[in-house]
Structure 1
Amino acid sequence: MAAFSGILADEEHNIATKNTNGVKSVLSNTDIAIVQEEARLEKSEEPTTRWKRFIRALEVPHEGKPISVLRNPDLEPVARNERTWGFWSFFAYWGLPNFAVATFSTGSALLALNLNIQQSIGALVIANVIIAGFTILNSNPGIKYHIGYTLAQRMIFGIYGSYIGIIIRVGLSVVFYGYQAWLGGLCLNMVFDSFSNNYLNMKNTFPESVPMTRRDCIGFICFQLIQMPLSFVRPSRVNIPSIISCFLTLFAVIGLLAYLTKVNGGPGPLYYEEVTLSAGERSWMWLFAITIWYSGISPGVANQSDFSRFASGRLSCYLGLFIGIVLPGTFISLAGMLCASACKQLYGTAYWTPDEIISQWLNTDYSAKARAASFFIGLSFTSSQVFLNMTQNGYACGMDLAGIFPKFINVTRGTLFIQLLSWVVQPWTFFNTSSSFLNAMSSIGIFTTPIVTINVIDFYWFRKSKITLIDFFTLSKRGAYWFDYGCNWRALVSLIVGIVLGIPGLVYQAQETLKPNMAMLNYFYGYMFFIPLVTGFLYLGLNLISPLKHEKLGQVDPIDFFDCFTSKELSALSMLPFQDNIGDVYQYLDAQEQDSEQEYPIQEVAIWQEKS
């Protein structure tokens, strides 16, 4: 059990006695009831049957720390020694989605909207600035209280209602993990191609009905095997290799861009294409371009707290993520478009991914120079894909699954699970046509944007940036996140409405033979802006009709129960520090509960403050 404890009145005071003269209560009756309910959830009995011993053996390793149906060590607020991420760590965390194949090839989707390169980049700049703003707003539950996405879902949807937000994120993680792993396999093949001309020209033995080659399948399997050992690395420890991967990929992109534009003598024909859209059509395509780009990284925006909780400081987190989103997100996309444009003039085809460019070079001249370029470019992009997939999807899904089955799944087990499950989504089918890629990338944000909106409004508007932590791990009906039967129906209704309104536009986009309702289609094009408005005003309206009330709303814990705050943070929160010198508080409270003749109210006996 956890030793939730406070401050002794003095060295001679014995909390086991009922001498409460001059002792002032720190916890309310509600706090004590919550702690006692947590104790009952976390109570562990010695297994007496073979089946119970088997079930006990399946529990996650917890090294004496409490576990329950709501709690394991990976879900608790992050300890001080784990909060080591500074500017470069957050630059790398948000740089990874940009120093990647998907960003390099973004132009294929944007130019398909009949925008030119200049307008596509303009849309990306606007999108990146807005995304950075969304992400900063969504960071503070992690920065201030060191909690992840899973606990934030309990805060807005309720203890039971949180499973909806968690399951949505798990589903997206599975899809994106498979998608990024497939791209990683293509990058790894660039390394393998540099080793052997026979591998480069490997004969495909798969039937035509299978939309991949044997060579692609080998790269995908090998990439998956490379990622698996990283499941056993704590997420907070991958920041250094992530930084290195970002800079390796940056140099590879600069090399590609410099070589192709120099050999071509300029940016190529795509750069000079005219836009034939009318003013109205152009406006909606700008909105759609912004939405497409946002959608691709919206899961990372939603679960930002999973990694902002590792922040060593607020300012370094904000600056790192802002620069990591805006600068690489613009430059890498521009470089990809210019490289494709140069390739179109040089080779007659616009190549949108690095592996296509490398294949062109190797098939033209399998020389030492081309093989060296293939190896180093392949290694750079492979490294960025590995750490991108692990941080944005693998670890994120592990954290989410830990919130669903805390007693049996931790981050490591959850990450291994998604690696084995990622085959189910058949990611190779995403790349059959440009429209498939476009639809897949443009629809993800429909499911995450309402969650981000509700989280921001709830945290800042209703809770005034103040939340209690002990309430996250209790089934007590007196808990701050119990709401009605464990669900916050206001947030759930707002979430469902926000998602449902985006579905018709997605159907119209995917089924071009249907005659669209232009209002719903335009809503889909600009849902990055429309969903926050609809979801936000609906959530505010429902709370106006049925106000959210709880005695702990807008309050923090009186004591640092999880021993996770620094002295500076404790002072800012007016919170008492954790002390482990008075034994197990649970045992004491249980004893008080069993004492039917206690002389003083429990709130006066149980908890601790200095003598007046």
Structure 2
Amino acid sequence: MSKYFKWAELPARKDIYTYDGTRRWGNHDLYPIPKKERVYGYMGYYSYYLVSGISITGFSMGSAYVSAGLSAQETIGAVLVGCVCAALNACLGVQVGLDKSLGFTMSTRTTYGLYGNLLPLFTTLLGNLVFAGIQAYYGAQSISLIIGAVIPAYANMHNTLPASAAITTRDLISFFIYWALFIPVVLYIPMYKLKTFMFPSITMTAATLLGVLGWIIKENGGSTDPLITSPVKVSSMNRSFLFLQCVFSTAAVWGGSGDRLSDWSLVGTFTTTAFYSKYGTVLWTPLDMLAFIQETHYAPACRAGTFFASIGLLTSLIYINIVQNTLSFGMDFASVLPKYILMKRGSMIVVIVSIACNPRRFLTQAVVFVEVFSGFTIFATATVAITNTDYWIIRRRKWKIPDLYQRDGIYWFWHGISWRAIVTWIIAVIPAFPGFSMSMQGKTDGVAHRIYQMSFFVGYPIAVCTYILINKTWSPEGLGIAENLQELPEDGEIIEGSIPENLSESEKDVGIVEVKQDKTVDM
């Protein structure tokens, strides 16, 4: 079959890692990040996580639970607890990037095997598709507000689509305008150069969200009393488990940016309750609120305000969709077909597919948003628990990196599959899966759904304990071996799998390899 797709094969990079070029198990985007592309400093990484929290999704995380039935105080507490858990989990997960200059995709290879990692990657790729589509729909709403603020005819465009389409004619046009703006950024700006756009995005988005909060509090008379009242009434039991679900979904989904997310979920919580108190309408995204304002107060000042606010939100939506969804999808999908897929090609695939997946239906109600947001996390929880346990406890931060790219290495396990990780993943997912299935059918009562609502605190410890037990009983091959790939800045050649004799034991423990010669050593 490969001869028919020869035209699609990726050319080998000639500047780095030329020892093997593009092959069945590796390409430029899957090898350790070269030194010349490691341009993110402390502030760059901090800003990356910060921009993930200062976002519409971060805003909506709190407001969606207020709309679903929690009070403002309960939502703030739940999101705060979830963010603490997420930040701790993130600290464990990011260490592999600091040590090896590799990411999540390679972590799944060390635990699940070169073929077995398709299981966690499938659930991750599916989540990227859905959330890329959701961010694109938000982007379409932003563009509708921007154009509508300037052109009244666009704001009042007659809808020719049926209700079953779950989108208006105006927003559908804006949807494709969004992608027309988005695609050139993906194609022509490398990921390591995106940090240039982070600071403007953070500033504009933060100003917009705080501006919406300040405006609605002013409209509400400046009183704080209505902010603590839940607009939706639920039973005490349901409220308790909804609280746990808020903690769990925050902890599982926002592991990367949990340390700052709570601040902006708090803004969303206050804004939603104040908006309900003033207008009697439960709206849980800032775009819906801006659309409501533009529709009911179409005056020059209102049009100017919604115009600039929507531009601020649009910059955030484009940036987050690139780094959190499309490029993440591209990197993970590159692991499936390294000979043909780089991050950019994978990113274009997610653009095409997410247009067709109709994510707009997930945003029709806050309850649906909560269930979709929580659903993917039962699988992510098991995967992250296994990869963290493997890296820190089982392998003690020692990887044989050359074996990540070859069939006969220690990560080949059994026919490319690690039964230890697969069995652990299934055991960790099983308790929450019946409740997840029930929630997709609209059934939210019963013990199974309660377990699903707190599945992070059920699945994570089950995965950790099970994985440790299995690996201590049946130890995998290659524990304690640390080998790196290293590049030579002068000519780009590689020494593969060689450890100089003059390294200290601490350097060997974390796999640090100092290149002492200018030749390639084949394994």
TM-score relative to the length of structure 2: 0.89
1:454 CA drift (Å):
0.6
* Structure 2 residue identity aligned to 1:253: L
Question: What secondary structure sits across from 1:560 in the alignment?
Answer: strand
Asked if residue 229 in structure 1 is aligned to residue 184 in structure 2, the reply is yes
* Structure 2 residue identity aligned to 1:395: L
Change (3 A) 1:326 1:392: same
1:240 CA drift (Å):
2.4
Q: Distance in 1 between matches of 2:231 and 2:278?
A: 20
**Does the aligned pair in 2 maintain the 1:89–1:243 contact within 8 Å?**
no
* Structure 1 residue identity aligned to 2:259: V
Q: Distance in 2 between matches of 1:207 and 1:337?
A: 33
1:149 CA drift (Å):
1.7
* Structure 1 residue identity aligned to 2:72: I
Choose the corresponding residue for 1:538, options 446, 466, 473.
Answer: 466
Segments of 5+ residues of structure 1 without an aligned counterpart are 1-50, 305-323, 590-612
**In the alignment, what sits opposite 2:206?**
250
**Does the aligned pair in 1 maintain the 2:67–2:284 contact within 8 Å?**
no
**In the alignment, what sits opposite 1:331?**
263
Question: What secondary structure sits across from 1:124 in the alignment?
Answer: helix
**In the alignment, what sits opposite 2:369?**
437
**In the alignment, what sits opposite 2:419?**
489
Give a deviation string over 1:206-248, Cα, whole Å, max 9, x none.
1233211011111211111211112222222212212321121
**In the alignment, what sits opposite 2:50?**
95
Asked if residue 359 in structure 1 is aligned to residue 314 in structure 2, the reply is no
Change (3 A) 1:286 1:558: closer
Higher relative contact order structure (alpha carbons within 8 Å, sequence separation ≥ 6): 1
1:579 CA drift (Å):
5.1
Question: What secondary structure sits across from 1:355 in the alignment?
Answer: helix
1:282 CA drift (Å):
4.5
Asked if residue 289 in structure 1 is aligned to residue 239 in structure 2, the reply is no
Change (3 A) 1:226 1:547: same
* Structure 1 residue identity aligned to 2:42: F
Give a deviation string over 1:429-457, Cα, whole Å, max 9, x none.
11223332221111110111111001111
**Does the aligned pair in 2 maintain the 1:79–1:563 contact within 8 Å?**
no
Q: Distance in 2 between matches of 1:541 and 1:483?
A: 18
Asked if residue 523 in structure 1 is aligned to residue 451 in structure 2, the reply is yes
Question: What secondary structure sits across from 2:486 in the alignment?
Answer: coil
Q: Within 5 Å, which residues of 2 pair with 1:198-213?
A: 198-213=153-168
* Structure 1 residue identity aligned to 2:335: G
Change (3 A) 1:349 1:563: farther
Change (3 A) 1:383 1:469: same
Moved more, 429-438 or 191-200: 429-438
Choose the corresponding residue for 2:277, options 345, 352, 355.
Answer: 345
Q: Distance in 1 between matches of 2:348 and 2:516?
A: 36
* Structure 2 residue identity aligned to 1:103: G
Q: Within 5 Å, which residues of 2 pair with 1:270-281?
A: 270-273=227-230, 281=238
Choose the corresponding residue for 1:392, options 287, 308, 324.
Answer: 324
Give a deviation string over 1:137-190, Cα, whole Å, max 9, x none.
011111100112221111001122122222222111111111111112112222
Moved more, 278-287 or 422-431: 278-287
Q: Within 5 Å, which residues of 2 pair with 1:183-198?
A: 183-198=138-153
Change (3 A) 1:55 1:578: farther
Choose the corresponding residue for 1:169, options 124, 127, 132.
Answer: 124
Asked if residue 426 in structure 1 is aligned to residue 373 in structure 2, the reply is no
Asked if residue 83 in structure 1 is aligned to residue 83 in structure 2, the reply is no
Choose the corresponding residue for 1:151, options 103, 106, 123.
Answer: 106
Q: Distance in 2 between matches of 1:208 and 1:281?
A: 31
Change (3 A) 1:360 1:559: closer
**In the alignment, what sits opposite 1:320?**
none
Question: What secondary structure sits across from 2:165 in the alignment?
Answer: coil
Give a deviation string over 1:29-55, Cα, whole Å, max 9, x none.
xxxxxxxxxxxxxxxxxxxxxx94x74
TM-score relative to the length of structure 1: 0.77
Change (3 A) 1:576 1:393: closer
Choose the corresponding residue for 2:9, options 55, 59, 71.
Answer: 59
Report how many aligned residue pairs link the two structures.
502
**Does the aligned pair in 2 maintain the 1:295–1:444 contact within 8 Å?**
no
**In the alignment, what sits opposite 2:490?**
none
**Does the aligned pair in 2 maintain the 1:110–1:289 contact within 8 Å?**
yes
Segments of 5+ residues of structure 2 without an aligned counterpart are 488-493
Change (3 A) 1:576 1:498: closer
Asked if residue 139 in structure 1 is aligned to residue 89 in structure 2, the reply is no
Q: Distance in 2 between matches of 1:169 and 1:340?
A: 30
1:462 CA drift (Å):
1.2
Asked if residue 124 in structure 1 is aligned to residue 54 in structure 2, the reply is no
**Does the aligned pair in 2 maintain the 1:88–1:243 contact within 8 Å?**
no
Choose the corresponding residue for 1:457, options 372, 376, 389.
Answer: 389
Change (3 A) 1:407 1:79: same
Q: Distance in 1 between matches of 2:282 and 2:241?
A: 25
Change (3 A) 1:292 1:346: same
Q: Percent identity?
A: 26
Q: CA RMSD in A?
A: 2.6
* Structure 2 residue identity aligned to 1:223: Y
Question: What secondary structure sits across from 1:485 in the alignment?
Answer: coil
Q: Distance in 2 between matches of 1:576 and 1:401?
A: 29
Q: Distance in 2 between matches of 1:106 and 1:585?
A: 51
* Structure 2 residue identity aligned to 1:358: L
Q: Distance in 2 between matches of 1:126 and 1:472?
A: 36
**In the alignment, what sits opposite 1:600?**
none
* Structure 2 residue identity aligned to 1:256: V
**Does the aligned pair in 2 maintain the 1:451–1:495 contact within 8 Å?**
yes
Moved more, 135-144 or 105-114: 105-114
Q: Distance in 1 between matches of 2:361 and 2:33?
A: 39
**In the alignment, what sits opposite 1:556?**
482
**Does the aligned pair in 2 maintain the 1:450–1:498 contact within 8 Å?**
yes
Larger-Rg structure: 1
Choose the corresponding residue for 1:578, options 510, 515, 523.
Answer: 515
* Structure 2 residue identity aligned to 1:351: L
1:469 CA drift (Å):
0.9
